[in-house]
Every structure is written in C-alpha cells, then in structure tokens.
Amino acid sequence: MTETRFLIATHNTKKRDELQRILAPLGIRAVLGADIGMDLADVEETGQTFEENALLKAESGCRESGLPCIADDSGLVVDALGGAPGVYSARYAGVHGDDDANIVKLLGELEGVPDEKRAARFVCAACCVFPDGRHISARGECEGFIGYEKAGNGGFGYDPVFLPVLPGGAGEEARTMAQLSDEEKDSVSHRGKALKTLTDKLEMTL
C-alpha cells in the first residue's frame, strides 16, 4: 500500500500520534506542519459548534499545505454546567491549552455536585478536506462522569478527571481516560469513534 501524507491541523504531538495509530491501516502518514517545514497559521475558532470549527481548521490547513488535511474540534460537555465548557474547552480558564488551569476551574465549578449529577461526555467532530474541495466529516461521543481529583498520567486535556463508561459496565473498576492504555482509549474515546467513522468514509474515497 502506498503511503499518503495527510496534514493534521494541530500543534499537539500527542494528538498526531493518536491519529497516526488510527489512520495507519489506510496507509496514511499523519504529519504536523512542523514535520513538513511549515508554520501553519492559527485559525480563529469562531464556529458555534464542534463541526463548524473542525471544518474551519481543515480548510485552512489544506489551503496552506496543498495536502489533504484532517482537523478535529473536541471538548467536554458537562450536564450540570449546562453543556459547558463545550467549544470553549481548550480555553475554559482563559488561556488556550492550559490543561491544569482548565481542570482546576472545572472541579471548582462542580464543587458540591453529587456523583449522580456529574454526568458528562467528550464530543469530537472530525473533518477531512481535500485539495479539490471535497470534504467529509464525522462525529463521536464518549459518555462518562467527572471525578473529584486527577488520576493517571496518560492522555491530555481533561482526561485525568473524566471517568468513561467502559464496556465492562458496573463490574469494571472506574478509571479515568488518563489511566487507560492507548488501545483501550482508542476503543472508547470520542476521537477514536469519530475517526473510525471518518476512516470508513476515507476508505471509500481513497
């Protein structure tokens, strides 16, 4: 199978590596702008939905690089907070990408909220834009709950405080997303689900 380069519209190497694991079976090599000597422009995420922001980022990356570009916009939706932080997940505490500050704010907002009202879900919208103007998109969600403190060293973002509902059900010991292996995370994560659907669509396109 001939390897095809796809630009991943992010500066996050962990996200690139996660996408690479999922896309590799299609013969796709995920690259960042830095991998190909490009300093990609930061895209203002003006969309009101995850889908709108993913499309904005994928279109910009494709236009700048001339490569097919995959972008995702993902975030945490917490029922007790009326859906917040939502599309503002990465900058919930005011500084984009400050994971620790975002978690501190989230746990502070949920102080005193009991277990049964801490339901939340990770949402991911993924989009691929091709140089000829075609684009495909997909959405994935991962249901879970917000814990009371950080646990685990894996993942990024809100992973250390998000307790996903795992296939084992009630008999499965609660673990945060940051405590799962890469394989376990890919099988249940919002990004894994969205990219599985996206790769199914890509397989019919390539």
| Residues forming the active site | 73
122 and 67 in contact (C-beta within 8 Å)?
no
User: 10 Å Cβ neighbour count for 140?
Assistant: 22
CA distance 194 to 206: 18
The angle formed by the CA atoms of residues 12, 50 and 185, to the nearest 5 degrees, is 55
Strand 4-8: give its sheet, edge to edge: 28-31, 4-8, 69-78, 119-129, 135-146, 162-164
- Tell me the CA distances in angstroms from 11 to 14, 71, 90, one per residue in order: 9, 11, 13
Token digits of residue 198: 């996206």
Strand ranges inside 45-85, DSSP E: 69-78
**Three-state DSSP state, 165:** coil
79 and 117 in contact (C-beta within 8 Å)?
yes
Distance of CA 109 to the CA centre of its chain: 22
Q: Which amino acid is at 113?
A: V
**Three-state DSSP state, 201:** helix
